[in-house]
Structure 1
Amino acid sequence: MGGPVTVNVIAPDPVLESGTIAALSGSPDVAVVTRDEPASVTVVIGDDVDDVILDIVRTTRASNHRPAIVVLATNMAPAQALQTIASGARGLLWRREANGDRLTRAVLAAATGDCTVSPEMLDRLLDVDGPGRSDPPEGGLSERERAVLAMVAEGRETDEIARALCYSTRTVTSVVHDITHRFRLRNRAHAVAYALRAGLL
């Protein structure tokens, strides 16, 4: 990537903003800039994912430099998580899980176009229709595709996914390519967002 990823932080509460900046400042892989400076990634923080937070996500994403967005929230129901992704976020974490290392990973993943969803939040999203869901309709995802895409949503790199699932990196790359091609999606982040919205995972 050629140097640290620039990141800024936006929060309605200045205490939350300061704490998040401090957490990110400990990593040599990111360079924290002020909220008024252009950044590759913007971290948006709030207690609830309400209209204020969603408006910040949309407005920031639509700005001239179009940063990737990572959202931290105290409370986020599955419907709110999906709405946040649809608004342009590429990372979703609960604040209680967002230590410096995990937050930095989400920022770095967002900077490269990947999407990160915390494992617990992903479980809730996958269970949004309740247990015992029927098999996906024609045009859905296979079990292998679900497994790969779920790990992409966690922000895992291709080689990590390959090791965890005992596939080759070529197989993982091929699975992701097949998904994006079949559904005419732009990239991995778009694939995760589409699959979550469509209930394919």
Structure 2
Amino acid sequence: MGDPVCVSVLALDPVLEAGAVAALRSCPDLAVVLPDEPGRVTVVIVDAVGPQELDLVRATRNATERPEVVLVATELTPADALHAIAAGARGLLRRREAGAERLARTVLAAAGGDCMVPPEMLARLLEQNADGVATGTRGAGGPGLSTRERAVLRLVADGRETGEIAQELSYSARTVVSVMHDITHRFRLRNRAHAVAYALRAGLL
């Protein structure tokens, strides 16, 4: 077993911060550090997801250590989720669903480079993009996704790891990695989270 993943918590409410810290400390694979200490993941806890909160996600993501960001919000709509992913969040949770086990799982997924959103929200994200436009509408002649790419990207959006995706779709892990590389290269995207946000916003899923 490797070293624990260092994670910090950033919340305006000290009670919420204390609760999140206690939950994270219950996972042996995580080590909680102070907000100003280097860590691989930062859990940001907010009430609503507005411009200020999105700026906070960006600022946290762009800190010196460039930690992955898991955003926990009291209210989280599909549009909020898209904007948060586009701002750099690697994991999303509603506060009422952020129990110790689920929060730890989301943090570990973020540390491993995967993007995780609430499963029941994924279907809604696939039905509409952040502007409320039904997916499936593309610009004339715009590039799309193949059936295989769409299947892989849907599972990435669901927070699945490469091995899990390969098993689910009966592909090799190498094929899954190749598919994601092709998507990010073709659309000039930074990473998996950016690929999911772009595909949902552009109506490619």
Ranges of 4+ aligned residues in structure 1 off by more than 3 Å: 129-138
- In structure 2, the residue matched to 1:10 is 10
Question: Taking structure 1 as the reference length, what is the TM-score of the superposition?
Answer: 0.88
CA contact (8 A) 2:86 2:194 kept: no
5+ residue gaps, structure 1, are: none
Q: 2:196 aligns with which of 178, 192, 195?
A: 192
**Quick one: percent identity of the two aligned structures?**
64
Aligned counterparts of 1:85 and 1:93: Cα–Cα separation in 2? 12
CA contact (8 A) 1:76 1:94 kept: yes
Question: Taking structure 2 as the reference length, what is the TM-score of the superposition?
Answer: 0.87
Cα pair distance change 1:142/1:34, threshold 3 Å: same
**RMSD between aligned residues:** 2.2
Per-residue displacement from partner, 1:75-128 (whole Å, max 9, x unpaired)? 112222222122221111112222222222221222233221121222221111
Deviation at 1:169, TM superposition (A): 2.1
5+ residue gaps, structure 2, are: none
Aligned counterparts of 1:87 and 1:143: Cα–Cα separation in 2? 27
Deviation at 1:42, TM superposition (A): 0.5
Once the two structures are superposed, the pairs formed by residues 115-154 of structure 1 within 5 Å of their partners are 115-128=115-128, 133-134=135-136, 138-154=142-158
- In structure 1, the residue matched to 2:82 is 82
Cα pair distance change 1:135/1:36, threshold 3 Å: closer
- In structure 2, the residue matched to 1:28 is 28
Per-residue displacement from partner, 1:35-66 (whole Å, max 9, x unpaired)? 22222110011221123322321221222222
Aligned counterparts of 1:55 and 1:187: Cα–Cα separation in 2? 20
Partner secondary structure for residue 37 of structure 2: coil
